[in-house]
A and B are shown apart, each in its own frame.
Chain A
Amino acid sequence: MLLRILDRFEEVLISVLMAVAVALIFVAVVHRFSLGAAADLVGYARSHEMTGLQSAARSVFKAINSIKLTWAQEACIYLFVWMAKFGAAYGVRIGIHVGVDILVERLKDPAKRIVTAIAMSGGILFTAILVWIGTDFVYHVRLGGQTSPDLEMPMWIIYLAVPLGSALMCFRFIQALYLYLTTGYIAHHDLSSVDGVEEEAKDVAEGGHG
């Protein structure tokens, strides 16, 4: 039960971070584009001495310009830093992290089992080290009192993504190792899955357009 909540949380978190980042940058682009257009209109009105239009355009410009989005890029970066750390943990669960498996695929069973277990333990070890040095780092940054330049957010909160994400990832590696040792199952993500190809293929084969 608790585990299912964790799974769900992980999925929702990274999807939402992705969606928010896209929306934010899209809005920032539209914002800049409309500012440019309003300013051009002011310039046009000024050069054609249309005072009415000029002041109207000026107030439109001022209205759009009162929304400040200089922080959008920085926010986008931090959203993606969080997405990357937690997404990497989710990636362990679904087996998206690829390695070079040509040797392992050629091994016979006891050896194969041992090498695969070593590979997974490597993941546990690495992420555990990250939890340790990440926590230490966050602690130091917190003492230093640094803030981000645009949002002026405390940096330690942003950097918390590393120890937290790594802890989750470490847990996922342990889970994967346990699953492998008990059932022999390894999650494997299909990098080339495409929705809707079967239907289209069937239709084309039956003589549809294509």
Chain B
Amino acid sequence: MTALIIFLILTVLLLTGMPVSIALGLTVFSFLFAFTEIPMDSIALKLFTGIEKFEIMAIPFFILAGNFLTHGGVARRMIRFATSMVGHWYGGMGMAAVMACALFAAISGSSPATVMAVGSILIPAMVKQGYPPQFGVGSIATAGGLGILIPPSIVMVMYSVATSGMVVTGPDGQPVLSASIGTLFMAGVVPGLMLASMLGATTYFRAKKHNYPRMARADWRERWLAFRESVWGLMLIVIIMGGIYGGIFTPTEAAAVSAVYAFVIAVWVYKDIKLREVPKVLLSSAAMSAMLLYIITNAVMFAFILTSEQIPQTLSDWIVGLGLGKIGFLLVVNIMLLFIGMVMEPSAIVLIMAPILYPVAVKLGVDPVHFGIMMVVNMEIGLCTPPVGLNLYVGSAISKLGLTEVTKAALPWLATALVFLMLITYVPEITMFLPHLLGMN
């Protein structure tokens, strides 16, 4: 009953179109005011302490690092390298687009930016080569989603932050440690590469069927030159992953170091950004980070209300009592997340839903890391589903095609992503293979 009231208030507020963070905050206040005796002061506390965690600070740092390198010039280098490697296959430019998205995803934590950067350069070029625009926009809008699956990923940081500190127990009643940022990043690598390959395969077969043009095979010299150009950007992910795994720094420190690295590369090596443009990059990164941190603060407050009303526990008991089992539960979670993903943006969904679903998942024996990656894949698909799908919007803006047409164009790749989601959901080994191999818990 209480849960119903809370979610009703939230839904009504959200539908007015007010910012998600404000809707969360007002839900908390109106609920407190009307239905409980919890003193307002004790909620105020959460406004201050909600983001007082060093782990959360990885978010602004990763955003800054990504923004230094989110530039047409960097995308261009990635595209050149990708084209030299796979351009001679069926659907050459489409294949290159998927690969370029995967490479760009290793720098940027944002999907729409990946679509924009790769799409606005490649789609016009593809049209010129005789590809229908639908082909390019469909593959790129979907492959752009790799931005949040291949590390660094803001959504993974959000998941780790939303669940860390929650003391949950597994099926045997033993406490289970939550997923750390480092492990989640490591766990995203294999699924990221796998999804990229699957989207590539879809591109290949569609291109083969329609006999789209292929490009001349690049020689090894060109491949080497293209690689050498793009390697400075790609080193970012090496620094982050190697640094965390090698014990040189914590994830937050890795994010800060990668921001400094990205700054040096963008200004002095690639020279895409002039020194006087740096304040602009700082400002836009600060604005974006502040927006996300604001959602986090209010989501923490919202989660507090849920907890103090015992909602996650009640829900957890109820779901476990339904006897769905692990398989049924995960199916329900996927359907629910896909549905919410149609209308909301990833960060907010993860922050609101993770604290509710995570205890149940762990209770049913799902690994916290596996569950996190599963949520991220859902979010990725949500970015490409109407009516609210940022990747689709961006694709539509680049290609000048209507939203419906872009959606239709993306269907084959979207279907591939759904198959991939099922694989990730029911074959946890795909996710857990690398973390286990590296001895991360």
Touch between chains A and B, by CB atoms below 8 Å:
yes
A-side residues, CB < 8 A to B, are: 11, 14-15, 17-19, 21-23, 25-26, 28-29, 33, 73, 76-77, 80-81, 83-88, 90-91, 94, 96-104, 115-116, 118-120, 122-123, 125-126, 129-130, 133-134, 136-137, 140, 159, 162, 189, 191-201, 203-205, 209-210
15 contacts between A and B (CB under 8 A): A25-B256, A29-B248, A73-B54, A87-B290, A87-B293, A97-B20, A119-B18, A130-B25, A137-B44, A194-B72, A194-B116, A198-B72, A201-B120, A204-B124, A209-B80
Shortest beta-carbon distance from A107 to chain B in Å: 9
| B58-85 residues at the A interface, CB under 8 angstroms | 60-61, 64, 70-73, 75-76, 79-80, 83
- Contact check, A80 vs B60: say whether CB atoms are below 8 A apart: yes
| B109-146 residues at the A interface, CB under 8 angstroms | 110, 112-113, 115-117, 120-122, 124-125, 128
Q: Which of A86, A118, A129, A204 contacts B125 (CB 8 A)?
A: A204
B-side residues, CB < 8 A to A, are: 13-23, 25-26, 29, 40-41, 43-45, 47-48, 51-54, 56-57, 60-61, 64, 70-73, 75-76, 79-80, 83, 110, 112-113, 115-117, 120-122, 124-125, 128, 226, 248-249, 252-253, 256-257, 259-260, 272-273, 279, 282-283, 285-291, 293-294, 297, 343-345, 387-388, 390, 393-394, 397
Summarize B's interface: helix, strand, loop or mixed: helix
CA distance A90 to B289 in the complex (A): 11
CA distance A2 to B75 in the complex (A): 41
Summarize A's interface: helix, strand, loop or mixed: helix
- Extra contacts, 12 of them, besides A87-B289, A159-B48 (Cβ < 8 A), are A14-B290, A25-B256, A29-B248, A33-B248, A83-B60, A96-B288, A103-B15, A119-B18, A123-B18, A129-B29, A197-B120, A209-B80
- Contact check, B80 vs A136: say whether CB atoms are below 8 A apart: no
CA distance A88 to B25 in the complex (A): 14
CA distance A169 to B377 in the complex (A): 34
- Contact check, B121 vs A210: say whether CB atoms are below 8 A apart: yes
Q: Which of A11, A28, A73, A191 contacts B390 (CB 8 A)?
A: A191
Shortest beta-carbon distance from B61 to chain A in Å: 7
Q: Which residues of A contact B257 (CB under 8 A)?
A: 25-26, 29
